[in-house]
Structure 1
């Protein structure tokens, strides 16, 4: 008894052809049909992957809240780094309030303090939330 690889059962090789004593023309025709089926399976898998990615993106985008900041809005900036003298979990999560001075595409915002001194570094809109006094 001889072991046969599972791939050879599906797509026979010359060794399997010799053992089964198939005609070479018939074997070539079967081999060609199976190779065409591989392309179909590959295209089906590719289509399924693209549909899955579109479904995941649609689901994610449905839950995203669009936030728009206009010049003059009051905002709070998230504290991204923890200082050594912070009080652990009781430390402030947001810093501010700040005034939006200018907005750019891609979510870049330039802030200024309440006394209108401009901050040098731009801030990402993901780290901001509106402040309502």
Structure 2
């Protein structure tokens, strides 16, 4: 007796159909129907995957807040690394204030200190928030 996978019972393979000793015409017809079902199942899975991606994108986009910074705005920059002499959970979460010098289309922002010295590296717009003095 030979072991049969559970999936082969639901969707018979060529081995299962050959063991059933069907007529060649009937076997070819069943095989053709199976191949058509595989295409349908593949399309159904593809459609399901696309619908899932759209649902996830919609759920994510509802939580995203659009932030727009203009040159001259006052902002605070998030402290992204912990300094060795930090005070743990009592350390400052934001650094600044800074002035927005230039903004780019991808969300990058060039900041300058309050005295006018410009920082060389751009900062992501997600890591800053507006400051109202």
TM-score (norm 1): 0.92
Number of aligned residue pairs: give it: 132
The answer as to 2:54 corresponding to 1:57 is: no
RMSD: 1.5
Structure 1: stretches of 5+ with no match in the other structure: none
Aligned to 2:71: 71
CA apart distance, 1:87: 0.9
The correspondence of residues 1-133 of structure 1 with structure 2, limited to 5 A, is 1-9=1-9, 10-14=11-15, 16-18=17-19, 20-133=20-133
Structure 2: stretches of 5+ with no match in the other structure: none
Distance, in Å, in 1 between the alignment partners of 2:121 and 2:16 is: 70
TM-score (norm 2): 0.92
- 1:61-88 Cα offsets, whole Å, 9 max, x none, are 0111101000000000001111111111
- 1:17-54 Cα offsets, whole Å, 9 max, x none, are 34x33211101100110111011101100110011001
SS in structure 2 of the partner of residue 81 of structure 1: coil
